Amino acid sequence: MQVTMRSENHIGYVTLSNPPVNAIGQVLRMGLLEAVRWAERGRLDRVIVSGAGGVFAAGADAKEFDAAPQEPHLPEVLNAIDESFVPWIAAIEGVALGGGAEIAMACRMRIMAPGARIGLPEVTLGVIPGAGGTARLPRLVGLQKAVEMITTGKPIGAQEACSAGLVHTVEDDPIEAAFLVNSEALGCIVPTWEYHAPAHDADLFRMARENLQAKMPGQEAPVRALAVIEAGLALPFHAALAHERQVFLELKTGSQSKALRHLFFAQRAAKAPAHLKGAALEVQHAVVVGGGTMGAGIAYALVSSGVQVTILEADADGLKRAEDNIGKIIAASLSRGMIDAARAADLRSRLTLSTEYSQAATAQLAIEAAFEDMAVKQEILGKLDAVLSADAVLATNTSYLDLNEMAAPLMDPTRVIGLHFFAPAHIMKLLEIVQGAQSSDRAMATGYALAKRLGKVPVRAGVCDGFIGNRILARYREAADTVFMDGSTPWEVDDAMVEFGYAMGPYEAQDLSGLDIAYANRQRQAATRDPNRRYVPIADRMIELGKLGRKTGAGWYRYPGGGGKVEDPIVADLAIEEAHFSGITRTDYSSQEIRQRLVLAMINEAADILDAGIAQSAGDIDLVTVFGYGFPRWRGGLMHYADSLGVEKIVAQLEILAQEDTVAWKVSPFLRRCADAGQSLAEARPMR
């Protein structure tokens, strides 16, 4: 039974019970509607509705979204609650999200536990509230708050919900408190639908539209939600609900919602494979070697999750640098109000800085985060291997290097994995867990358990140069440099990718991370580079000119006075010069052509990665591209987007490009096989 009902002294207790999060599917809706009838038949004094398992309800069951909606529909069920002569009180613990919050808003009264959260995150799934949220919330909290909550999808805490007027009171035991509510007082509260809609505010809506355009370009649901809230103000309540429902149903079948739901479930599926269950080492003490930007970020993420951390550095200068980097992160977190002084002190108390490797003897995990050089990393891993206890796990934060080569000289290479964090390591959600040829289940399981503890999205990657993400990035950049040299400019390329949905294009992004990192990689790869593959020398020229990016005041763009980016004609001329020397006739690429080439280049490379077993599934590649490289979330990730284009069409387009360059645009055999078999990338499995 997903809805249980019992009554005591004329009070009805209705419990939502569909573990793990009481998702509201057809069965639960039917149970709720039956509960309304049951309460009315019993002429109960009130109904107290709560959720089992410490959760009120996480919203409509998103697994039902691909199917045609089944009766009873949630709006009707909630109208029955709202219009019933038996008042309902929502006793909220855990989360009340989406349809869960809409159930609560249809109740006469809402009581929240102190740690509970309430919100309408529908836009994060590419839809809008579909059961009265866009009409009831403005009636309860006013226009400003409702617009903010619905267009951002961000839930709020109990105190904020109470001061906003969304809930009546915050109580440790909401069910008990609901029981104690004075019947007369309860009788005086009018049903939510009878509340007056707030007055229209043209300026508020204009500013909200501008804000969405600036902050969420390309995302449909927030803009539609805003329009539905606005339209609803001028309509009678039930007409507003009908309009809301129509837009909800339209968006539910749209590509953006499909993409966002795909990511939602892919993220939840990104867990330790079943065979690793129970093998993880519990990490109480971790060592991070290298207190640079990455090392400090990793250390901060670890202490924030309760781990004791020792940062090891080579010397006093290194210790000072580590201290400064950690200090910067803590100061930034304090200034943003993410932590308070007590928490900052607690985090610092878990951190030790030292040059003594003997300190690693009590650690369950050691992460090497030093300079991207094989010899440096092998030396560090060797030192750690010598002092760590036998069952401790040894990890490297390398972004590109061969894990097997790195582990080979060690006494126990089976305990080595890659834990590839993304900068800033305490913020970016993605964690590539790199499995070496000898990595043990215990080491891999420890990596996954750590990812869960740090709130990261774990993706297993095999060993190749750049693993999943950086290998795709290298191809993306190569395609960008080729388009730049053959007829475009960095800013045209960036604009084209921002139009596609990236927050920034490849050139502005590289100016942030520094052109020298990619240069060091090209130098490292020079000896093994395919001599038949075209090499675009522009980025090397930039290094020669000292244009390393923002950190040198100029890269692909200039940053006068450390301010915003300015297009640099000198950079554009570099391509004209290089093209001239190489006898290339430059072409005027449209934004569409630029986008197509860069995205096809990534898809083709990703298909090879999947075929080689470096990535386990297309869904994993979607997680990497979205959570690590800024691929537009509402496109569902690289491979989901590729499937929306169609593999056959992609192969046909790649074959045209291959006429220009048979090496760079060699069509991935994996793509051909999928096209021949009429299979999507999501369905297809590598032939290994």
Give residues in contact with ligand T1G (CB under 6 A). Answer: 20-21, 23, 58-63, 74, 95, 97-99, 102, 121-122, 124-125, 127, 129-131, 133, 265, 268
Q: Which residue is nearest to ligand T1G (CB)?
A: 98
Q: How far is the CB of 102 from ligand T1G (least distance, A)?
A: 6
Contact 522, 653 (CB under 8 A): no
d(CA 225, CA 688): 46
Please, which residue, 130 or 466, has the CB nearer to ligand T1G?
A: 130
C-alpha to C-alpha distance for 124 and 222, rounded to whole angstroms: 9
In the complex, least distance from residue 461 CB atom to ligand T1G, rounded to whole angstroms: 21
Closest approach of ligand T1G to the CB of residue 427, in Å: 18
282 is catalytic: no
Question: Closest distance between ligand T1G and the C-beta of residue 429, in Å?
Answer: 13
**What sign does the dihedral 225-228-232-237 (CA atoms) show?**
negative
* 3-class secondary structure, 18: coil
Q: What are phi and psi of 40, to 5 degrees?
A: -70, -40
- Residue 530 DSSP SS3: coil
Residue 73: count other Cβ atoms within 10 Å of its Cβ: 16
| Residue (457 or 548) nearer to ligand T1G, CB | 457
Question: Is the Cβ of residue 87 or residue 99 nearer to ligand T1G in the bound state?
Answer: 99
Count Cβ neighbours within 10 Å for each residue of 243-253 and write b for 16 or more, e otherwise: bbbebbeebbe
Q: Which of 525, 678, 671, 523 shows the shortest CA–CA distance to 600?
A: 671
Torsion of CA 316, 320, 325, 328, to 10 degrees: 170
Helix (H, G, I), strand (E, B) or coil at 496: helix
Report how far apart, in Å, the C-alpha atoms of 441 and of each of 384, 419, 448, 637 are: 20, 15, 10, 28
Name 444's bridge partners: none
DSSP 337: T
Radius of gyration of the chain from its Cα atoms, rounded to whole angstroms? 28
Q: Other C-beta atoms within 10 Å of 516: how many?
A: 15
CB of 309 closer than 8 Å to CB of 295: no
Least distance in angstroms from the C-beta of 248 to ligand T1G: 6
Q: Quick check: is 102 catalytic?
A: yes
Nearer to ligand T1G, 121 or 501 (CB): 121
Across-strand partners of 15? 4, 50
Cβ proximity to ligand T1G: between 277 and 529 the closer is 277
Amino acid at 291: G
DSSP state of 556: S
Q: Dump the DSSP string for 23-51.
A: -B-HHHHHHHHHHHHHHHHTT-SEEEEEE
DSSP state of 433: E
* Shortest Å, Cβ 552 to ligand T1G: 42
Q: CA-to-CA distance for 37 and 83, rounded, in angstroms?
A: 12
For 2, the token pair is: 């997903």
For ligand T1G, the closer CB: 98 or 295 = 98
CA distances to 144, 272, 312, 564 from 457, in Å: 33, 11, 26, 32
Choice between 265 and 371, CB closer to ligand T1G: 265
Question: In terms of Cα–Cα distance, which of 82, 58, 73, 87 is closest to 264?
Answer: 58
- In the complex, least distance from residue 381 CB atom to ligand T1G, rounded to whole angstroms: 34
Least CB distance from residue 99 to ligand T1G, whole Å? Answer: 4
Residue 624, Cβ density class (10 Å: 0-12 exposed, 13-18 middle, ≥19 buried): buried
Interatomic CA distance for residues 623 and 269, integer angstroms: 10
Q: How far apart are CA 196 and CA 142, in angstroms?
A: 10
- Tokens, residue 237: 């309540």
Contact 506, 481 (CB under 8 A): no
**How many Å apart are CA 97 and CA 155, to the nearest integer?**
7
Running DSSP on this structure, what letter comes out for residue 630?
-
Nearer residue to ligand T1G within complex by CB, 120 or 548:
120
Phi and psi at 313, nearest 5°, equal: -130, 165
Name the residue nearer to ligand T1G (CB basis): 24 or 594: 24
Q: Pick the catalytic residue: 93, 102, 230, 313?
A: 102
Residue 149 CB, shortest distance to ligand T1G, in Å, is 13
Shortest distance, position 69 Cβ to ligand T1G, whole Å: 10
Least distance from ligand T1G to the Cβ atom of residue 13, Å: 23
Nearer to ligand T1G, 75 or 295 (CB): 75
Q: Cα(first)–Cα(last) distance of the chain, in Å?
A: 45
Nearer to ligand T1G, 122 or 620 (CB): 122
Q: Are 24 and 95 in contact (CB under 8 A)?
A: no
Q: In what order do the strands lie in the sheet with 169-170?
A: 3-8, 11-16, 46-51, 88-92, 109-112, 169-170
Q: Catalytic residue among 8, 76, 122, 605, which?
A: 122
Residue 41 or 268 having the CB closest to ligand T1G: 268
- Cβ 229 to ligand T1G, closest distance in Å? 13
Positions marked active-site: 102, 122
